[in-house]
Structure formats: structure tokens, C-alpha cells
Structure 1
Amino acid sequence: MNILKQIFIFSILFAPWNLSAQENLWYKKELPAYTEYLANDFGIIFNPISNFTNLDKFYVLWSASKEPEKGAGSIYGPIFLSNNKDCMIMYNAQPNYVSKKEEVRLGMVNHNFHRSQITGEIRSALGLYFGHGNPLNKNNVETRFNDYVTIIAGKKPYEMFNADSIFIYDLPNADSVYFFDESLERIRKEKYPYCTGMFITKNDRATMDIKLFFTKKGEKKKNQYVEMLYKSIWYNDKFHRD
């Protein structure tokens, strides 16, 4: 399953992908199945945020590029909307995890995945990255990771998620991202010009990827919405992968 996951992620990052024919890739399209999957396969306890409505959206392909079939992106769902409709939050459909054995086999490093994904999203949003090997890529234009991303370690991630680090960033040109789901794309264009990304990491555990979308009013309270994520994700220390 993890090998298939990596192939799938690379397909999203580096090539067009059509999800229209995909059904129940890893679990049924329902919140209890997602919650059970995170707990059983990754030792991650998921608690939906109060005062948010479940939009019942799963396996939604999202791109950080205004050209949706190019650039970096991933698969999300479940997706929630605040009752005041100023914030929309989506969780990645499958946490990223590569075992030590698979790191060697695939030539990937688990703890570097989130940095690569974040860099790809930012460069895609800036119009610098269009896909692996694409001749339009502007490889000569540098983007400094720390100019865009704040890394929080220590007490804060531990208290919020029982995690080691939080990587948080405001996606540039966020009004030009794209949902392949027509209904989500329509409301995004109408109401949500801002997007904040979060990657939650813990040593030798799966990484969670969360995106928060804001209206102009919601963006002014961005920090409050981030704080609402407190214990919505929690790494179970008793979990041991077989």
C-alpha cells in the first residue's frame, strides 16, 4: 500500500491525474471510515472541530497551480466548513509515510517529503513549477524555503498534536489554486482567496497535511482558526506499526 501511495503521490506532483473513476481508494467515503483508517493504519486520532460542518467530500484532487493539470497538488477529504462560512478546512486523504525499507527501495526520504511538497506548492503558485521535467520550469529562479514557511518545534506542536514540528505557510497567489471538484471550485472562487498550509510531523510517523481557506473576514482571524485545530489531530504514542 505504501508503494502504491508513493507512485500515486508522484503522479499528482508530476503528471495529470483523473480521479473521476476512482472510488473508495483506501476507505469508504464517510467520516467514520476515515477516522478508523487514521487510527488503525497510522495511529492518528482524528477529532472533527466543533462549529464546523462536514461537507461530505472525499478523494478531492487539489492543485496549487492556476493551471490545474500542472504543478504540485495532492488528494484531500474530509473537508469542513465553519458555521460562519469564513473558513474551510481540508485534511489530506492519506497521511504520508514511507518505511525505512521503502525509503531505500523508492529512493525517497520520509522526513523530507513535507519539505518537497511545500516547496512544490509554493513554486507552483508562483508560476515557477509546472511538473517534473517540464521545459517551462524556471529552475534558475530560487525560492528560499524560510522566506515562506514558519517551522514551529518544541512545546507548541506537542501540546496541540503530540507532534514534533508544525510547518505553516501562506500560499502565494492563493486565489489561483484549483479544486477538481466543481462545487468546491465554485465556492472557492467566490469566497476564499486565501489559503494557509500546515504540515504536522512526528519522527518516524506519518505526516498530516491540512489546508485552511479563508474569506477576507476569516483571514483576519487566521490565528484563531489555527488554534481551533488543537487536538483535532493527535498522535497515539501506543501505536506500533507491524
Structure 2
Amino acid sequence: MSNELGSFLKELREKKDLSISDLAYASGVSGAQISRIETGKREQPRPETLQKLAQGLRISYGQLAEKAGYFDGMQQSDKQEFFAYHEANSNLDLVLSEMFNQVFKLDQETKLVIIKEVGVSGKFGEHDEDIIETINKNEAVNISPDFSDMSLLQKLYLIDILSRFVRYFAVDETYLEKLYEQIKTGKIPDPYESGRELVKSIDLSDDNIKEEFSIIVDGRPLTEKEMQKILAQIRLDRQFE
């Protein structure tokens, strides 16, 4: 079987003069796993793994996803939307990583001002704590894992706040403004629009549902037995409708 992803990954890594250890450090993916991918022992890694590798290599996630076969059979329009989203997301992650790596050098008083700005904005919801924790770090960061389910608009809002306190010139402001308009008008899809992935429907009878979602009632996750009871009661009620 073809090892298109592995060959591409190795060629790109060597072109950037990175050892496997270097890429492991930059991406957060273990050296052993990178080696398995490059040698074809792991032909289609999970999307999360590819996202980390793309971040470490400073390339678009879509490039690795295509080599891994995730686009096979996909309609061209869907592929274009996928590429548009992930290219925008990768670019924003790079900008945020660089900005946070300047924030950590700031004095504590300035960091407290940034934290206040984040809270007052009211735009980040459940991500407030992750942002504050990252601001307070005293070392270089890779933001991708912490903010992987933050929407594109939220990342743009965060860049706007941080740009008031750090100097960043690698991305043209015109590009960010254009990106904002494309997202708002739907030209670039934003699957985490509300801060988490939009789910239009969930089939509670799906046996794999508890592996994909945490279903919570009164602050406690439902057990398998409780799920079975709920489904049994619903099916019984429907018999008498």
C-alpha cells in the first residue's frame, strides 16, 4: 500500500532541516509515532495528530490530511471549504503562538491588564480559563492543543486584544480584516462558531454515542445503565402514543 503521507512528511521534515526529535518537540507528537508514520506503519493518523504535526512544521493541516487520504471521495466543493477553514485556522494558530510567545515576556502588571480585557470582552466563554492560564505561563507555548475548539472568530478577537500589547508584523492586518469578512459572510466555514463544534442532531440509540460525547445530567455523566433506562422508557412511551 502507498505510503504517500510518510514519504511527504519525511521529505518535508528533512527539507526544513529538522530531526525527528526536533519535530516531536515542536509538535507535541512523540518521536516514535512520527517514525511510524514516516515508515508507513501508521498510514492514516488521527486528525488531531495531523493538526499537531502541521503546527510543528508550519504548514496547512489540509496538506497532511490530503496525503493521509481524508479527502478520498470528497466532493470538490466540500474539499475547498475544508481547505479554506484549515488554512485560516493554521494561520491564526501561528499568529497566536507567536503573540503568546511575546506575552510571556511581559511584566505581571501588563498581563493582568490583558486578562481583564479578555474577561470584559465576554467573547471567549469556557475558553477564558485556558487563555488566562496561557497568559500566565513563563515559557514559550504552542497554543494549538489548548484552543483547538475555539472558533475562528474567537481567535481573531483574541489576536485583536493581544495586538494592543505586543508588536507583531508577520501577518498583514488587511489579511485579518479580509478573513473576518469571509468568515462572517460564510465564505469560510467556522465549525466551532459558538466555541464548540456545531452538532445538528445526535442519535442516542447509537452504540458509540458515549465514546464521542459526554452526556451530563445535573453535573454528572450518564452511566451506560442510565442510558439504557432512558431509551427503554422512551420506546415504551412511544408504543402508547
TM-score by length of 1: 0.28
Flag the structure with higher helix content.
2
Higher relative contact order (CA 8 A, sep 6+): 1
TM-score by length of 2: 0.28
Flag the structure with higher strand content.
1
